[in-house]
């Protein structure tokens, strides 16, 4: 093909006018590590900035038709990359660029497996408890050798501007009251080694309701799910599912869409295109507990025999089918009961501050699972990448003990639950890990 781009100055003409300067053109195609095209990336070339389209393509003008120049590709959720682009006379040169997602350290919480139960003083004003925390780096590897000084339990004060429980969940509106730790640093820390890996069958359950646009507007749950699938062990199996309901739901089957059958590690790459196709299919209501119950039945009947059964659930935790908070709690209790009866472990994953920590924490901790929380998109990918080792029980954790004190008696009662956040200093930064502890 013939091609000539020229840069023309304004005005003039005549015998002494300079000839137009010829430019080159390079077609830059930007993809992520899984081959998904990256739209909206900024490509800075020698002649200025251009932006990749929906197919991840940008046409970058060059200073000359046969020159080489540095080109910088950037996007808010990726690591910037600088490459050399070379134009070719008479044609559009092509350059494929792969961007790595930006990641950072993250963590999650689970019920202590030591057998030590929370203890409350005689007047219900002071409580001692243990929790276990998962801490991983940006590559989803466990961060080891942390000390007690790297963990700090934060004092908790209810936020009157929100309806969500912040500190103490009970049966009345007056229960959510402030508390403070006796000391921010844990009283005891034990590094818990990972166990020998056990194979599992896990179903990914993705919230595709309209509310997910608030907590996950970039679709981070979809590309992060690929990290989980990529990390399956040789004997593990996975099933991709999604849920939403109502007239505005866009999924092919409502409320629950199953992309059956279960697939082994060698075959889960076929799910990547399905995950990409879910990007625009967001809308409708959030039938969280009904979807978990339906998927649980499918796990029990169709999961390969001999494997531990689990769900990996991404949602904001707000079930729109419930008739009020108390009805939601009752539905959640039934969902937890049935999951335990069928020995289905629930891993819950939330992104951003808008998630219902109490709901996600109870689903996870009361079924032997874990609550994983990402405050930013950069934390979500390593959390998903660590789920396989968490399910296989081979991921090390930290077991920590604290004592907290409320401002009045009768705050910590049987049947109530303590919510809070631990600030973790790891991987060169600090981040919060939320938790919930039931009071027996």
Per DSSP, the residues of 394-431 read -S-EEEEEEEEEESSTT-S-TT-EEEEEEEEEETTEEE
Do 352 and 214 belong together in one domain? Answer: yes
CATH of the domain at 39: 2.60.40.1120
Do 186 and 77 belong together in one domain? Answer: no
Do 235 and 288 belong together in one domain? Answer: yes
Do 188 and 204 belong together in one domain? Answer: no
The CA-based diameter of the chain, rounded to the nearest angstrom, is 101
CATH of the domain at 341: 3.40.50.410
CB 43 within 8 A of CB 62: no
Do 325 and 232 belong together in one domain? Answer: yes
Domain count across the chain:
3
Do 137 and 224 belong together in one domain? Answer: no
Do 378 and 256 belong together in one domain? Answer: yes
- Rounded to two decimals, what is the model's pTM? 0.93
List CB contacts of 191: < 8 A, sequence separation 6 or more.
144, 396, 398, 399
| 58-103 pLDDT tens trace | 999 999 999 999 999 999 999 999 999 999 999 999 999 999 999 9
Q: Pick from 29, 39, 40, 46: which is nearest to 98 by CA?
A: 29
Do 179 and 131 belong together in one domain? Answer: yes
Q: 421: which 2 tokens?
A: 């956040």
pLDDT for res 174: 54
Let me know the angle formed at the C-alpha of 177 by 176 and 181, rounded to the nearest 5 degrees: 120
pLDDT for res 163: 80
pLDDT for res 386: 98
Structural domain of 161: 106-192+400-438
Query: Rounded to an integer, what distance in angstroms lies between the CA atom of residue 25 and that of residue 5?
Result: 8
Query: Rounded to an integer, what distance in angstroms lies between the CA atom of residue 285 and that of residue 352?
Result: 19
- Where the chain has pLDDT below 50, the residues are 1-19
The residue to which tokens 């969902």 are assigned: 335
Do 219 and 368 belong together in one domain? Answer: yes
List CB contacts of 236: < 8 A, sequence separation 6 or more.
199, 200, 201, 202, 264, 265, 307, 388, 391, 392
DSSP H or E segment with residue 362: helix 357-365
Sign (positive or negative) of CA dihedral 417, 420, 425, 426: positive
Residue where one domain finishes, among candidates 33, 68, 99: 99
Do 113 and 94 belong together in one domain? Answer: no
Query: Rounded to an integer, what distance in angstroms lies between the CA atom of residue 347 and that of residue 175?
Result: 27
Query: Rounded to an integer, what distance in angstroms lies between the CA atom of residue 79 and that of residue 133?
Result: 28
pLDDT for res 172: 56
Residue where one domain finishes, among candidates 99, 128, 144: 99
Q: 113: which 2 tokens?
A: 């497996």
Residue where one domain finishes, among candidates 67, 99, 131: 99
Do 329 and 419 belong together in one domain? Answer: no
Do 66 and 114 belong together in one domain? Answer: no
């Amino acid at each position: 093909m013939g091609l000539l781009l020229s840069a023309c100055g304004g005005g003039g003409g005549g015998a002494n006018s300079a000839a137009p300067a010829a430019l080159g053109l390079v077609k830059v195609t930007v993809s992520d590590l899984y081959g998904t095209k990256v739209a909206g990336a900024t490509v800075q070339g020698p002649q200025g900035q251009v932006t990749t389209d929906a197919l991840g393509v940008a046409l970058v003008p060059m200073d000359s038709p046969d020159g080489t120049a540095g080109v910088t590709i950037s996007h808010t959720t990726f690591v910037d990359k600088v490459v050399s682009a070379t134009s070719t006379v008479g044609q559009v040169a092509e350059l494929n660029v792969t961007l790595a997602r930006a990641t950072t350290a993250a963590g999650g919480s689970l019920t202590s497996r030591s057998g030590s139960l929370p203890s409350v003083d005689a007047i219900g004003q002071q409580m001692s408890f243990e929790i276990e925390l998962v801490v991983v780096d940006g590559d989803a590897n466990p961060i080891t050798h942390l000390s007690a000084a790297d963990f700090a339990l934060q004092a908790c004060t209810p936020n009157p501007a929100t309806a969500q429980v912040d500190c103490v969940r009970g049966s009345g509106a007056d229960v959510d009251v402030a508390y403070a730790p006796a000391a921010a640093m844990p009283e005891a820390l034990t590094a818990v080694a990972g166990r020998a890996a056990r194979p599992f069958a896990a179903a990914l359950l993705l919230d595709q309701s309209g509310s997910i646009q608030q907590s996950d507007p970039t679709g981070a749950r979809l590309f992060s799910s690929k990290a989980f699938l990529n990390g399956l062990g040789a004997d593990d199996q996975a099933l991709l599912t999604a849920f939403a309901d109502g007239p505005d739901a866009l999924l092919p089957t409502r409320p629950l869409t199953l992309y059956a059958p279960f697939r082994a590690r060698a075959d889960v790459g076929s799910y990547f295109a399905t995950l990409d196709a879910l990007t625009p299919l967001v809308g409708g209501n959030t039938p969280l507990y009904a979807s978990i119950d339906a998927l649980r039945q499918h796990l029990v009947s169709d999961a390969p025999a001999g494997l531990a059964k689990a769900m990996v659930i991404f949602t904001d935790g707000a079930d729109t089918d419930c008739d009020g908070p108390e009805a939601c709690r009752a539905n959640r209790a039934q969902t937890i009961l049935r999951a335990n009866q069928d020995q289905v472990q629930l891993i819950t994953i939330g992104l951003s501050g808008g998630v219902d920590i109490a709901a996600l924490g109870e689903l996870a901790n009361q079924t032997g699972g874990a609550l994983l929380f990402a405050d930013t998109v950069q934390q979500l990918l390593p959390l998903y990448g660590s789920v396989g080792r968490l399910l296989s029980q081979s991921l090390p954790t930290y077991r920590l003990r604290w004592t907290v004190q409320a401002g009045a008696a009768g705050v910590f009662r049987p049947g109530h639950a303590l919510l809070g956040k631990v600030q973790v200093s790891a991987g060169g930064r600090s981040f919060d890990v939320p938790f919930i502890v039931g009071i027996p």
